[in-house]
Each structure stands twice: as structure tokens, then as C-alpha cells.
Amino acid sequence: MKVHGGCHCGAIRFEAEVDPDKTMMCHCTDCQALSSTAFRVNVPTAAADFRLLRGTPKEYVKIGSSGARRAQGFCADCGSQIYATGAEHPREVYMLRTGVIEERQLLIPKGQIWRQSALGWLGDWPGIPAKPQG
């Protein structure tokens, strides 16, 4: 499905093609820290299907537990998180943060990853299959 999004201040706008069935919750500690909340919800888009319409996200490169370098794209003005992708070019897949997508109501998580670090007060969401790690 086609989705439209942008950061809170409006400096960045984008559109993308996503498969809603690939929407995932991530409970990893990096997602908790980078989102400054309990977990993050992501949906992938192929680089060829991701189009920046306005602005240029700033990128912070983090080293994942696998050693992979991941670029975290966000708005340098308002801080909204837009995506994560491989730090190297060319890029193949962008993991879009669903909170900045207008159609997020339709992006219902189909799985949970890194459940082992989920916060204890969260429900189990038994309808959403969970993997202990990534």
C-alpha cells in the first residue's frame, strides 16, 4: 500500500510503498532508547519504493548487536525519527517508523522481536507472535 509521512515540524516529507503485513514491534533496548519510549513499530520499504519529497534527514549511525552499522534517520529540527537503514550505500531497505506515517492506524504489528528485553509492565499481546531476539 502507498503511505505518506513526515516529521512533526514538516521539514521532511516522504512517501513509500509498504506491505502492512510486515509491520513489526521491536522491544530492543536501542529502540527503547532511541524512541525514548517502551517499544517501536516499524514497517520496511524497499529503497526503490521510498521517496523523500522534502528535506534531508540527519543520520546517526549506531552499531547493532550483530556489528552491523545502521543509519538512523531523523529530523534535525524536531527530532522525529523517520527510518533506519544500512549505513553503507547503495541502500536496499528502509525500516520506516510508523509513528510518522499518516496511515499508521492501518499498520498493525504482525510480530514482535526482541521480546526478551520488553518492559515487564507491557501486556503479552498473545495475538502477536513474539521472538525472544531479532
* C-alpha separations of 75 from 40, 48, 56, 79, 130 in Å: 17, 21, 8, 5, 30
Residues 48-77: x where in contact with Zn ion by CB under 5 A, - otherwise, as a string:
---------------------------x-x
Which one, 29 or 92, has the nearer CB to Zn ion? 29
Does 11 engage in binding with Zn ion (CB under 5 A)? yes
| Binding footprint of Zn ion, residue count (CB under 5 A) | 9
Which one, 36 or 90, has the nearer CB to Zn ion? 36
Measure the CA angle with vertex 106, ends 101 and 111; round to 5°.
95
Does residue 90 have a cis bond before it (omega within 30 degrees)? yes
- The single residue among 3, 5, 7, 115 that binds Zn ion, judged by CB under 5 A, is 7
Does 41 engage in binding with Zn ion (CB under 5 A)? no
Q: Label residue 126 exposed, middle or buried (CB < 10 Å: 0-12, 13-18, 19+).
A: exposed
- The single residue among 25, 26, 84, 96 that binds Zn ion, judged by CB under 5 A, is 26
DSSP single-letter state for residue 29: H
CA distance linking residue 85 with residue 59, whole number of Å = 10
Part of the chain binding Zn ion (CB under 5 A), chosen from 6-14, 15-23, 46-54, 121-129: 6-14
Which spans of this chain sit near Zn ion (rule: CB under 5 A)?
7, 9, 11, 26, 28, 31, 75, 77-78
